[in-house]
Amino acid sequence: MQLSKVWHRKTFAVQLQSIGSRDPRAELAQGIVSGPFGIYVGTAYNVGPPEVGAGSYTLVHLPSQISKLTLPRQGLCRQAAEEFATCDLAWESAWPFDVTGSKEELAKAKEIYYRWKSWGHRRSWGERR
């Protein structure tokens, strides 16, 4: 899959992780989108204006509304999305565990994730603690 070089502004839903005793919740985020990916200011725990998420941009898999990575700059999120898009996977799945493909392509996506994770703040979908 190839992402459009043009990202456009959109409001989309994201599933936020719980903090302490708070239950996981969905919120609307304003950000940019291209293909099955979105980027918003904030983290996997909070969506907010720049003063809340300063230096934190989160890459989201839009069909599942699940945060993929939180990185310090929007441009890094775009680069990560472009790399993920080179993987021949079923990105349209709304259930993250159903994003499927060949073993080689899944391994490629996993390698991309772990490489970018070193920049980031949180775990990806499907990764157990």
Q: In the prediction, which pLDDT does 5 show?
A: 74
The band of 12, judged by pLDDT with boundaries at 50, 70 and 90, is very high
pLDDT tens-digit readout, 42-101? 988 888 765 554 678 999 999 989 898 999 889 999 999 999 999 988 887 766 666 788
- C-alpha 16/C-alpha 83 separation (Å) is 24
- Write a three-state SS string for the chain: CCCCCCCEEEEEEEEECCCCCCCCEEEEEEEEEECCEEEEEECCCCECCHHHHCCCEEEEECCCCEEEEEECCHHHHHHHHHHHHCCCCCCCCCCHHHCCCCHHHHHHHHHHHHHHHCCCCCCCCCCCC
CA 83 from centre of chain: 12
pTM given for the model: 0.82
